Amino acid sequence: MSRKPLIGVVPLVDYGRESLWMLPGYFDAVLEARGVPVMLPLTTDAASVARLLGAVDGLVVTGGQDVDPARYGEKDPAAVGLCGELCPERDALEALLVPAALEADLPLLGICRGLQALNVILGGTLWQDLPKQTHSEVNHHGTAPYENPVHTVSVLPGTPLAACVGEGELPVNSFHHQALRDVAPGLKVMAQAADGVVEAVWRPASRFCWAVQWHPEFSHAVDGASRNIFSAFVGACRG
């Protein structure tokens, strides 16, 4: 029997309950793909981050609060107040964790905020609020049950995602109000929504670095494409 890789999962932060927590879908999807998930601590100690990355075989950067616009140099006065809740602790953790994981060539899967954080850390920017800044008519903010698709994305041919789930139209669930604006150097687009919003990217320089805007952790139990994404990720961690 092949070894099950250990997967570090970035924690979710609840300020109201003064707690770190985890949606079961992240763990369940990794377990189903024959990985072993473990929630990481919220630390900005570089030595601790290095120790953690030395122990795990891959990294999931989860959804959560908005990325601080200061991280990508937002100076437009009209954008003031468009963000929701911020999480400086996660911004700081990921600013250490993601570059170190990429330097070590650890497989990385970003989801929702994880896509946005990856893009910002590598030098890209974000739309702070799609409805107000782009006036998109695509519904990117679904409601419960969150596993249900709310729009489709176009998976671009010749990309790793196309090899994983097939090219063309893919129904996805969605729960976000921010999105990639300028794609960071080194990242390539794998999928887009009908309004042009970037829905998935990859980093060709990495063994495995994918990020998606939708939520396969909610839909993996009912959607084969979501399971395939986690299987591809955990398979890279195993390899």
Query: 91 phi and psi, to 5 degrees?
Result: -55, -45
The CA–CA distances, whole Å, from 214 to 2, 40, 48, 65, 73 equal 30, 22, 30, 15, 25
Q: Point out the residues that are catalytic.
A: 112, 215, 217
Q: Are 73 and 126 in contact (CB under 8 A)?
A: no
Torsion sign, CA atoms 188, 193, 195, 197: negative
State the number of CA atoms in the 13 A half-sphere of 106 facing the CB.
26
Q: Are 96 and 44 in contact (CB under 8 A)?
A: yes
Query: 224 phi and psi, to 5 degrees?
Result: -65, -35
